[in-house]
Amino acid sequence: MNSSSRAFLLGPLLKHVSRSFYLTLRILPAAIRDPIGLAYLLARAADTIADTSLISPERRLDLLLSLRAQVNGTPDDAALAQIAGEVTGQQAQPDERALLESLSAALAILPHLSADDAAAVRDIVTTLTTGMEFDLHTFPDETSGQIAALNAFDELDRYTYLVAGCVGEFWTKMTYAHMPGVLKAAPDIMLARGVRFGKALQLVNVLRDCARDLRIGRCYLPATLLARHELTPQDLLRPNTSENARAVLFELLHVTLERFRDAIEYTLAIPASAVRLRLACLWPIMIGLDTLVLLAQNDAWLDPSRISKVRRNDVYRIMAVSMPLAASNALVRSWTDKRMRTISAAIQR
């Protein structure tokens, strides 16, 4: 594999397509940066395929499964060229096009990883694409005007595992493999916490993006939960529905906070001496909890023009604040407890 090509893929291209995740990736210890970065690139390419609404869902599924086959088998340049050819023309962002056109080079990195790392990358990409496959099977074409909802909370819980909880699992395996002795807790405990860490972050995404997802026919809020509050997915599209659905929001915020408690314990199980690894976990926790504060206080959370999103300047503020926090368990607990009390107070009002 050409070293300059690898450097471009895991450097500038990764930075441009990963946005805020690159900040976390950059702080990681060098030993685990490459397999996690490659897994991200391949998953991002798959996500681009799955989200290209100008291509029919059936065709997107074919292309997604083709990419998964390339990841798990011998790459087929003709198949990769077909994927790039069909999807690239529908992309407005040049970085997305560059990623799709670089799939062959990205897959060429896999054989240069250790056998265990390559297997872990294949496994995580397979699981993540299973989550994307679930989306394409479950929800209608974005242009159909129809809407579908997940049925029960168990379905939402499994979905959050497929698209994010598995990432916490993968991250934990990479840490044990490349930083032996750093994590003092038993692997089964840390793997379980890692899964719940990922689920916490995905639940934040589900709640933050709910208004926009509804408008492309996707309701991740379980129908059984909505029914308990005398609501349907269609009701959530009506003006001024945010107030009527606040009980649903608060119930899911409570579940999300419980997931975040595991995320915090996961982070505090990392010794303060492994400051890079701690910061890589602390940043998404801090951003996620600040997002939940915004959601809990947003009386129009289902209005697509009032999305509860942490601004970029606030992300940089969080990064600055995190530096003195990271080395102290007491300071981390103080900061996170304050945010969680704010959210809990809003839920109980």
Distance CA 321, CA 323 (A): 6
* Mean pLDDT, residues 88-109: 87
Q: Tell me: the pLDDT tens digits for 196-243?
A: 999 999 999 999 999 999 999 999 999 999 999 999 999 999 988 999
Closest CA to 41 of 122, 119, 103: 103
> What pLDDT, on a 0 to 100 scale, did the predictor assign at position 48?
93
* Confidence grade of residue 93 (pLDDT, cut at 50, 70, 90): confident
Q: Domains in the chain, start-ordered, CATH in brackets?
A: 1-114 (no CATH), 139-349 (1.10.600.10)
> What pLDDT, on a 0 to 100 scale, did the predictor assign at position 137?
96
Distance CA 131, CA 46 (A): 11
Q: What share of the chain has pLDDT > 70, as a percent?
A: 99
Distance CA 45, CA 107 (A): 12
Return the structure tokens found at 125: 């990409």
**3-state SS, residue 53:** coil
The mean predicted confidence, pLDDT, of the chain is 93
> What pLDDT, on a 0 to 100 scale, did the predictor assign at position 349?
65
User: DSSP class of residue 110?
Assistant: G
When mean pLDDT is compared across 8-17, 170-179, 327-336, the lowest value belongs to: 8-17
Q: Tell me: the pLDDT tens digits for 158-168?
A: 999 999 999 99
**3-state SS, residue 149:** strand
Return the structure tokens found at 332: 């981390």
Return the structure tokens found at 120: 């872990």
Measured over the CA atoms of residue 91, residue 96, residue 101 and residue 106, the dihedral's sign is negative
> What pLDDT, on a 0 to 100 scale, did the predictor assign at position 258?
97
Q: Tell me: the pLDDT tens digits for 236-293?
A: 999 889 999 999 999 999 999 999 999 999 999 999 999 999 999 999 999 999 999 9
> What pLDDT, on a 0 to 100 scale, did the predictor assign at position 199?
98
Q: What share of the chain has pLDDT > 90, as a percent?
A: 82
Are the CB atoms for 191 and 161 separated by under 8 Å? no
CB burial of residue 17 (10 Å; 0-12, 13-18, 19+): buried
> What pLDDT, on a 0 to 100 scale, did the predictor assign at position 7?
81
Measured over the CA atoms of residue 196, residue 197, residue 198 and residue 201, the dihedral's sign is positive
Q: Tell me: the pLDDT tens digits for 292-340?
A: 999 999 999 999 999 999 998 999 999 999 999 999 999 999 999 999 9
DSSP β-bridge partners for residue 148: 218
User: DSSP class of residue 92?
Assistant: -
DSSP string, 214-273: HTTTEE-S-HHHHHHTT--TGGGGSTTHHHHTHHHHHHHHHHHHHHHHHHHHHHHTS-TT
Residue given tokens 């103080």 in the structure block:
334
The yes-or-no verdict on residue 4 having pLDDT over 80 is no
